[in-house]
Amino acid sequence: MNIPNSISLARLLSVPLIIYLIMNASYGWAFAVFLLAGVSDAIDGYIAKALDQTSTLGVYLDPLADKALIVSVYVALGLKGMIDDFVVILVVFRDLLIVGGLLLLLVLRKHWEVRPVLVSKVNTGLQIFLAGAVLAQSGLSIAIAEIVDVAAYAVVLTTVGSGGWYLVVWARHMASNGVRQ
């Protein structure tokens, strides 16, 4: 296992700890571990490209770690009443839509290499920012309610845009490969 994959695996393994910390109202510690996990996402991607250590495992492990982290943190923050249920539902549904579409293609034996577009990258960044801001607000007692509100609206808009983009591209891919819809 190369360095970027080890970092992705560490991020994936940090998810239960972060959820435990959130559920036990240790928001400062949850923020610190979440921040490290977020930074690790940038580091593993940089190392993979800079040292030419991209791998098939990394292609799957990195987004799996990202989705596990985001979905789990959003669900935990939603359960604690720290992020609006509507935002949590949208974020989780978008990821289920993407994963479900890929699984369906796998079952149908159709190959599709997913390449994230700008709106998806912005969406992921905003999702991480919102979760981090909510944890910082509670864990570090920072008064940033207005920033959290604006970030939540931005997450809603980019989640809908990104999910819609994936849905349209997936439907076009299915149609162009002769799969009846």
The pLDDT tens digits for 105-154 are: 777 776 666 677 889 889 989 999 999 999 999 999 889 999 999 999 99
The CATH number covering residue 11 comes to 1.20.120.1760
In a domain, 18, yes or no: yes
Determine, yes or no, domain membership for 34: yes
Residue 55 structural domain: 3-176
Q: Is residue 110 part of a domain?
A: yes
Whole-model pTM: value is: 0.89
Question: How confident is the model at residue 181, as a pLDDT?
Answer: 46
The total of structural domains in the chain comes to: 1
Hey, what are 170's tokens?
């997936």
pLDDT tens digits for range 149-179? 999 999 999 999 999 998 888 788 777 765 5
In a domain, 181, yes or no: no
